[in-house]
Copies of this chain bind each other. A is one copy, B any other.
Amino acid sequence: MPVAKRIAVDAMGGDRGPAEVARGVYEAALHSTSHFYLVGHPDVLQQELKKWHNRPKNIEIVPASEVIEMTDQPAVAFRKKPDASVVIAARMVHEGQADALVTIGNTGAAMAVGLLTLGRIKGIDRPAIATPLPSLTGGTVILLDAGATVDCDPNNLYEFALMGSAYAEHVLGVTKPRVALLSNGEEMNKGNTLVKRTHQLLLSASQMEAPFEFVGNVEGRDLFKGQADVVICDGFTGNVLLKTAEGVAEMVLSLIKQELGRHIWMRPLLAPFLPAMRRLRTRIDYAERGGAPLLGVNGICIIGHGRSTYYAVANACRAAEKAVEHNIVEVIRSRVCKAPLMPPAT
């Protein structure tokens, strides 16, 4: 029998409060053999757990007296709140009491705590958040970095390519993942200085038996067409891109509502389309794909969207279980060891 995975969940983060997180963990625990630690204010969490008639035995409360708020400065919060729920959860992973950390709190804080508590994998200079995105072909595209490292050099991006392809191969089951570089044009002479230099570096790497296939530049427009399995960019651009995609999808859906709601007589006609609209929402909803792993840190750390519903929290827990199952930290460590060492790009 396999050993039960142990998932430490920061129960105090997220825009919807601890009740939502607790419910998500409850849903995940019902269908799982993993053991879940719900880290946060014991009184608050005890009250949530009391609401359930059949409390699963694989949920345990771990007390934490402090909370890092969404408005807290990440690095300051880490120093000043050693008993914050996310810090305790990270410490459990570092000390081997848990196999993975899940948080939907302050992303900056999650990153700082993950990095400072768990440390980096040897050979990785900067971590990256690897966000799964839907593609029109029905598959998943991994975009990294989604905001962990806002100022990058070409070697950082090369490391992102190594980590992202390791994740796509081992967790998502893609053989020889295709890695693309996000740019403002497909041609290799397109891009800002960072992208042009990175393009050269990735070209050299792929001639030196890199464990991925470099397929060149990709534009934002083609990101969702499934031409690549992994798309790399600096964390600033990646974060702007993701939030723009979210904003546009929301805008289009809200314009559809406005347009279709224009005439009252139309409303009853809409009924047959509601399941289709729900499926649509599901297909573009970040919650479906759960949290994004913070790759490059020496431990498994899954970061969810601050607006996560219980459903998204449950999916983030599943992402954590998968990362543990496929031992993603070891996979990255061995990939970095074996990958061609690139000279600093010029």
Contacts and interface: CB of A to CB of B under 8 A. Distances in A.
Which label, helix, strand, loop or mixed, suits the secondary structure of the A interface?
A: helix
B242 A220 contact: yes
Which range holds the interface residue count of chain A? 35 or more
B252 A252 contact: yes
A192 interface: yes
A243 interface: yes
A236 B151 contact: no
Of the listed residues A136, A184, A280, the one surrounded by the most CB atoms of chain B closer than 10 A to its CB is A184
A73 interface: yes
B195 A220 contact: no
Interface stretch (A90-98, A110-118, A270-278): A270-278
B284 A255 contact: yes
A189 interface: yes
14 contacts: A150-B192, A151-B192, A183-B240, A184-B243, A192-B236, A220-B241, A220-B243, A224-B248, A225-B247, A244-B244, A244-B248, A251-B284, A255-B280, A266-B272
A283 interface: yes
Contacts of A241: 220, 240-241, 244
